[in-house]
Amino acid sequence: MDCAEQQPSPAAGSDIFHAPQKRRLVLCLLLALATLALYNPVTRAPFLNYDDPVYVTQNAQVRAGLTWKTIVWTFRTPKDLDWHPMTWLSYAADSQMFGQNPEGFHTVNLLLHTVNALLLFLILESATGFAWRSLAAAALFALHPLNVESVAWIAERKNVLSMFFFLVALAAYGWYARRPGVGRYLAVTLAYVLALMSKAQVITFPFAVLLLDYWPLRRFEFQRASADGAEGNVSLALGRSPSLWRLVAEKVPWLALSVVSAVIARTTGGQAFSYTLESEAPANFPLWVRLATAAIGYAKYLGKTFWPRNLALVYPHPGYATSIPAAVVSAVFLVSITALVVLFRQRRSLFVGWFWFLGTLAPMSGIVTIGPHSMADRYTYIPLIGIFVLLAWGGADLIQRWHIPIGVTATAGALVFLLLGTALHRQVSFWSDNVTLWTHTLDLTGKNFNAEENLALALIGQGRVQEALPHLQRARSLRPDDPLATANLATYDQMHGNYQAALEGYAEVVRFPNSAPSLRATAYANSGYAHLSLQRYDNARQDFVNALNMQPKNSAAYRGLGLLAQRSGDLAEATKDYQRSVESQPSSVGYLLLAQALELGHQDGAARAAVSQAASMTQDFNDDLAVMKQLLAN
């Protein structure tokens, strides 16, 4: 604790707040209830049409639930997907319990966030002895609108889950620090490994616990007490303290784990986005662009912390248009704050809070690019803990120094959290459906390829196909050589019966040099269905075969081959193809086609089981039945 932060005396007031155990329980209940109540609307949100399909709705392994095959798959994830087995296992468990009901997935995310807030409170309170300051920091974490993205987005389960294990590792580290031992060290290591297996973002853990050694654990043994009890000059003794090197040495195994995790993270993960030229990919921007992006991002994150409005799902990367003056001003601002924190380093909570923010955000700051965006709200989930601690302890110190009456303090605190709760409620409302979220994102960010594309797809999903066309066209104009934009326009033409235009679009997608194999396979499969509608059966067959050559487990291609086989009277082959289709990617329509072929083959029991499976996977059974009949009519 800081020299100004003496052990608190028992709180004045009612008996329940006099007893530490009762007080802790009541504060935990209040924190949990506030978090659950304000976030509750998000449990009624649908799956997001951005990343959620990759992680859940179109992931056959996850949809299968906790089978042995899925468990093995989570540890041997294909290279084009992120390697985070604990996250994959959590999704599979949700599928096992909730099927494809998004409410269950959202509820688990919310419960994890609530537990994280409680753990943060308990860790801070245990380490510092300050209940109210700890509660303030934990409440800021629980209710800040910047964290909505991590909670409301099912694909960001990795964020809340890795944070849970990260906090467990911090709690275990506090246990270890009180009495170091091999068993306790292994407990910290296990929790940290589980955190890394949830998301690589936690690779800064060794740095974070080294900060905790400084405060509040005070494991550095280099302070010199003066006659009046104040701390001595830390900077003079820091370099020659053997204790410091011992503390660093004990983090080396964890640092090695961080390096391994970082390497895995850089060599896995699919590229969900494509670029006109390889040089336009953010990872290939020169260092000056990435440094400028990082400086501006740090400043913007701080601005959004104190004024949490205009929060978007995707902030487009400005690339070479990055503002140098803005980067310089941001850098000067950050350096100035850092200098002040170092100057007043006797306020250890401020020192640790600020460097926690700077250090834990570094991997996602933009210096090393990890996506097509310049920044993302979800990246602040761990780093902002440092700012919240800084605010809670710094604010409490000012209250004590200025002798502000407790009534004024309580009123000001209530007002802050009322405003924060209002902002949180507003931000949660944008996640009510895909169209609302992408419209909000587009309103805030303007020329945003991803927002245009996903808003168009969301409108199509709601049956508002005509409204989607302008967004598809604007997406194409933003990236005229992007294969995804071309593929979506071709799909639009196909939906409207413009099969020849659709075929030309799919052919263009296949010719793009930067088309991902999965996108080419989808283009081939869709082209096959366009040929099928035009009754060009040989062309359709060739397209379906090409799709499978590009992507051996393409469900749509197998389904198309099954339709062709059934049309030629080969029910046995059709049944095999339909079976392969649902094994590759389970779908209601796929099971209905399989059921119909099984029934024609007089396998009535298997047909009924397939129909039951189809019914369990959809809320629009009659619509899927109509789609099946339309496919068979071609």
What is the maximal distance between C-alpha atoms in the chain? 98
Half-sphere exposure of 204 (CA within 13 A, CB side): 19
In terms of domains, do 329 and 359 share one? Answer: yes
Q: Which of 362, 354, 327, 357 is nearest to 338 (CA)?
A: 354
Residue 605's domain is classified under what CATH number? 1.25.40.10
In terms of domains, do 292 and 256 share one? Answer: no
pLDDT tens sequence across 493-520: 999 899 999 999 999 999 988 788 889 9
Is 99 part of a structural domain of the chain? no
225: left (phi over 0), alpha (psi -120 to 50) or beta: beta
Coil vs helix vs strand at 314: coil
pLDDT tens sequence across 351-382: 999 999 999 999 999 888 777 788 999 999 99
In terms of domains, do 254 and 317 share one? Answer: no
Q: What integer pLDDT is reported at residue 216 of this predicted model? A: 94
Is 15 part of a structural domain of the chain? no
Angle, helices 20-39/131-143, rounded to nearest 10 degrees: 10
In terms of domains, do 291 and 378 share one? Answer: yes
pLDDT tens sequence across 255-296: 999 999 999 988 887 544 333 333 345 557 888 999 999 999
Is 61 part of a structural domain of the chain? no
Is 377 part of a structural domain of the chain? yes
Is 196 part of a structural domain of the chain? yes
Number of domains in the chain: 3
In terms of domains, do 178 and 218 share one? Answer: yes
In terms of domains, do 325 and 301 share one? Answer: yes
In terms of domains, do 216 and 294 share one? Answer: no
Mean pLDDT of the chain: 89
Domain range enclosing 250: 172-223+232-268
In terms of domains, do 330 and 256 share one? Answer: no
Return the DSSP state at 231. Answer: B
pLDDT tens sequence across 299-321: 999 999 999 989 999 999 998 89
H or E stretch at 316: strand 315-316
Coil vs helix vs strand at 122: helix
In terms of domains, do 254 and 316 share one? Answer: no
Residue 216, preceding bond cis, omega within 30 degrees?
yes
Half-sphere exposure of 587 (CA within 13 A, CB side): 20
Q: For residues 458 and 205, what is the distance between their CA atoms, to the nearest angstrom? A: 38
Q: For residues 88 and 82, what is the distance between their CA atoms, to the nearest angstrom? A: 9
Q: pTM of the entire structure?
A: 0.88
Is 185 part of a structural domain of the chain? yes
Is 313 part of a structural domain of the chain? yes
Among the candidates 382, 402, 419, a domain finishes at 382
The single-letter code of the amino acid at 340 is L
In terms of domains, do 254 and 331 share one? Answer: no
In terms of domains, do 240 and 293 share one? Answer: no
Is 341 part of a structural domain of the chain? yes
In terms of domains, do 177 and 261 share one? Answer: yes
Among the candidates 360, 382, 404, a domain finishes at 382
